[in-house]
Amino acid sequence: MSIASNVAEGWGRHYTAEFIQFLWRANGSLVAVETQLSLSADLEFSTQQEVDGLLKQTQILGKKILNLERSLERHQSKESPDAASGFAIRCSQRTPSSTSKSATRPAAPATSGLPPPTALPDASLAERGIRHRTSGPEH
């Protein structure tokens, strides 16, 4: 539920940069669910086969979240030439910057076809292109 809630809350914000931050939170929730799924197999609450099926679905969801984030970053940089650089600085320093916010919102994200919120092992993060947030966005 947290994954979908973060995407929805991000969509409800006024600025693209805020939406992107909520997508980061959604990805963090996805990683938490991945861990919980792995633990459920380790503790024999679920079979490894059941967990593996769910992990494949989370890989798809993780890629969709990442693609939406990248699309929003491109949309944001088209609206304001300084937006991308200001956004990168703000992400690495974790301080707000009003100059990188966009006043217009992109179209609502499609929710149909998304698998239910589930998880992946940590090794799949690199496979999905997810990087640790302490290093800042790739630009």
Note the pLDDT of residue 107: 53
Farthest CA pair distance, the chain: 52
For 2-103, CATH gives 1.20.1440
Transcribe 92-128 into DSSP letters.
HHT---GGG--SS-PPPPP-TTPPPS----THHHHHH
Least confident piece of the model among 57-61, 71-75, 106-110, 131-135: 131-135
Stated pTM of the model = 0.57
Mean pLDDT within 35-41 = 96
Q: How far apart are CA 122 and CA 106, in angstroms?
A: 31
At 132, the pLDDT band (50, 70, 90 cuts) reads very low
pLDDT confidence of 75, banded at 50, 70, 90?
Answer: confident
Task: Give the model's pLDDT for residue 27.
Answer: 96
